[in-house]
Structure 1
């Protein structure tokens, strides 16, 4: 324990010398303090009072002179003059007290100041009186007097201040002398203390320096990693004990370091594995502050792979996370974070701008971390890019909406059921077809739509699908009978499909009510039968027409010979008979021709020859044929052919036939007293317009819709009176349409009719067959 006692002796010696220095310093400090207090309590107040008196003297002269020079200013500066005067006399009284107490030898200066003060006050009063009288101030005796009084007062105050400054300098020299002697004594004792300290330090160093140096060198070696280093100090004092303890410590540290190194290596390997696992996750673990902009303090390297940003982008900029939230989502995100503090954990989703400038949707799971004392420390969370999932959800929703929209707008019933046959979807068409509201069937068995005898088979099929996943009806279309809400049955066409969601299987059926189709199929079969009959009729008419034309042509030819008296003269009765036979033959031939044309049109065997037809020539030819009949019925035929429509490209024979039918009807249905028929032709655009107008019997409005029907006479009485088969207009309409035109009629009963048809001026040269 030698070092301990040596250090105690050295410290005691130094302490004694330090105490001596303190005593010297304290003694002289009291003397200095006493001198300073004298100055503070005596000299400083006197100097302060004199300085203020000097200031207030200048202030008073300012206010007095301005009050005298300015009209009415005395009252304006009255308050300032009184205040400055009060301050002056307050400091004068203070100066007088200090002189009586501390400086009796300065009473001469005090009396002089009082005397000059009285003179100054009289001058101030005089200058004010002069100012109030309105006499000029500057240059007056009073003005000179007040300036002289001010100067005398200032000089008296300056003399007193000069005396105080001299007194202050003397006392300052006394204090400086005391400080110098104190400093010299302290320096002397401090020098002795310094020398003694060196001696004591040298003695102590000699006794402990060598062991300390050895320990230091050993510590350096250990710091370099040489843990087998030891210190060889053999003594019974503290250094020997320290040496043994040091060696033991080194051994323990070596063992602990080795153990720590092994643990650290293992921890490092584990940390690297965990880091690799975290960085390879589709998540982004992070920590952030629980305040302000929630600045990120740590974030996984996986953030670079997922967002393109580096971890440093987040940790170096406190507002980086908040700045890149989508502007439309930012307020909502921060509002939702308040729920985190209420619940302790929270999940929300928002759009976030990644490095390429686009926005991705991220799911953010957060949890509050608290200190042992319950205070919030920070937030830990995981970020996950859920953009693809969101797009898939949107796509799924859109697909569902499209399906529902299509399903609801479909004319066919669309019904879905689960694997147990319970209805889960029911569209509007199903409601219309079956009569059930969706609320009546959702959750019910689909067998309510089936006849009783089909339900057991349906249940067996459903069980087989649930068990094996196979069915021969999936993907096929079948026909069966279904049951409406009112119990009525109807034929139905059904297409069945299935799909799976996880382990659950669902079925969808598209059902169509084919009642109308079945009815139409029956009608179609009947139409086909009628078409066969019609074709047979047409063939019969064609054959019969051809068979009748040969003898009829012979009859017409022979009657023409008789009329021309080729076989000799005929008496009047024979001539009438020959005319009747010839006219009837002509009428019958026209009927046969109409029948042939109708059968050709209906069978699609009508042929056309397109040629350059002269309209005037064709019209004249038709008029020539009808002239005799028109003359007999007192009909005047007029024509009005436009010069711009001299030629058209059409089938000339069919064109003349249509004109002939229309003119023949116009003449036939004339009034008994005769009338007028007008044929006109003009060009409208690329069409030729032909009209045949009469002032005959006209047509009832209710009969207009049946004008162009085959084998129809509008009135049985008219048919008996005027004759005809009702084929002329029907054939004309079909011919005009096949030539690329159209025909129409206008009529007023009792006033006449106008038939108009249009043909292309330049028609395509096509043949029909």
Structure 2
């Protein structure tokens, strides 16, 4: 008899321990009351095996325990899991074999297992554990899961919510994985991107395995690992590998390994095929290789070879033509690294041969084209110069070269020479501005007045023509000068009569004086050209007059557009697009836009961005327009010295400060309050030094104020000016 006394049995039934008496085959002979919680129906003695109550995955471990007990008769401990109405129950059993019976005493460690799960059963802080109870439809996460998804640990999470963090296109696939796992009891794994609660993009790997009882899946255990760093690393490896492959494929080169004493050289199969060498031999005799060198290059090759081999150092360089299997000779450059013995003698050399045939042909074509272009420019305009994007002279006609050599004692074809450095002082500003526009792809025609070395007045028509390397990239600018003195003097005489007639009534105020210059000047030009067109019969001259009329029209339109911008400034506020703007990036973009203009004037030009990377909630386009006006003015009114732009914040951090400081002409103290008024310049009227309507600073001030900011100015006449823009910082 198992339980001898009634009191003893009652005591066992009231115990929280799970007590089973089993046969050697695992059949239940007796049990205490608490054991019924392991089954949805009362346990039938002698007809029920303990294995029937276990989840499927624990049946084999249980059978192994039974076998071990009967064979060794020694106590065994094992944790087993049981499905119940409350979920999985974890029992830690002590099994004891005695007199043909097995006594099992179990302790409920479910809470300990759950706590371990919730504290992170997996030590790797980037891996989290999860469980989904199919009956309760309850999803449980470890803390690491919440960390991966950027969620608070107190968040209640459902299966659908967890799936919603994956891309929409894969959400149905994930659900299909779960359905397949339940139906077929198969584990699955997948790697995918998630977008966390905070909007961060991460790569995760998900593992899931079924927990089943009597062939039916009752829950799913799984893990999720943040593999973002690993994924990024793998992508970099793939990219680097692809880069290496493309680099080797992109250059027509052959890797070689030369054994000096044996006079044998190893080449890769692709290169051997190209040269028509046998693939059967790993090493090719050096004599065989040398027979493929062009006869005209052979002596030079031998001299350079021995000089390289015998000289100090470790590097080797040579160049010659090699005969390909097709019979064609191609130009190669050879670069290698020499290995020496203890006596300093070269014994081995490894390197590569680079096919530079097309490069040689291109250089020849360039030389021929330069000669043709030089012939053209020497027989065309009075002066012609070709400049690179840095403003350096690449090519010039003979007359220009002669003037530059005599005046500046420099040959711009042989030495670097910036065009702006050899231009008259009064032409530098105009050149810098128009050259900058030409680099943006604009074809420009301008007229200038100059005094010749004989003291006479000469008018030149200057054309700036951008030359494209491809459809998007400008690699040079052609500047041509045409003498238009006779025509210009006639035009000016006509214009002066009209200007004098209008000046009497136009000088009443700054507004009238500016508009007389900026509106009536192009109108008068149009009128004069119209008269000349009526009298002119030569088609070529008519075409030129029409071009002059187009220039006047564009100038008039630009003035009207500026006035329109000013008049519509109040309405702009209704159509703004406010976004979070990285002020460092926005200011640096404007800085880059005017870099060519500053360099062309040989000005120092620097920017210092804020280390705090400030952000402002503004309309970027309106802000850039205001900033560009001020940067442009700083360069325009600075003949020498520098322009410095800086971005910073102060302790209160209410505003972001953008300072634009120049060493230009400066502003008279009495005019510093007026410069933000419409139609006001430091110099005004028809005798003023600079073109413009005088509304640029006024617009800048209004734009910044619309954005909730303000502009301050500090200046000293003759020493320079500093404008400071204040825009609100995003809280």
Instruction: Normalising by structure 1, report the TM-score.
Output: 0.27
Which one has the bigger strand percentage? Answer: 2
**Structure possessing the higher radius of gyration over alpha carbons:** 1
